[in-house]
Amino acid sequence: MKKIVMSIVALTATTALMAGVNAAACTGCHGADWSKKALGKGLDVSQMTHKEIADSLIGYKNGTYGRAMKGLMKGQVAKYSDADLEAFAQTIGK
């Protein structure tokens, strides 16, 4: 089971890197399977659609989305292009 989980994590990280986003920074708070509520306040990203993820990441970047984690997330995504964030969103969620 551990090998399967590690393979999924490696595949997700590789796919995310192809999208230009550092997934390790994300999984540190959201968990390897994206189901952890970041710092107890975030959403369960694994239950979000690709579009919801892309919209929220771009919204964090533009300052038009977010609640308690808005400031932290803006800093995490500010360096990425909208295209990078959209491509990354396709690697997680539903």
For residue 9, what pLDDT is reported? 54
Domain boundaries, the chain: 2-89
Q: Is the pLDDT of residue 74 over 80?
A: yes
CATH topology of domain 2-89: Cytochrome Bc1 Complex; Chain D, domain 2 (1.10.760)
pLDDT tens-digit map of 2-36: 555 555 555 554 444 445 788 888 999 999 999 99
* Cβ atoms of 49 and 61 closer than 8 Å: no
Tell me the angle at which helices 82-89 and 50-62 cross, rounded to the nearest 10 degrees: 150
Distance, in Å, from the CA atom of 45 to the CA atom of 52, rounded to the nearest integer, reads 9
Q: Is the pLDDT of residue 52 over 90?
A: yes
- DSSP state letters, 46-68: GGS-HHHHHHHHHHHHHTSS-ST
Question: Model's pTM, two decimal places?
Answer: 0.76
For residue 17, what pLDDT is reported? 45
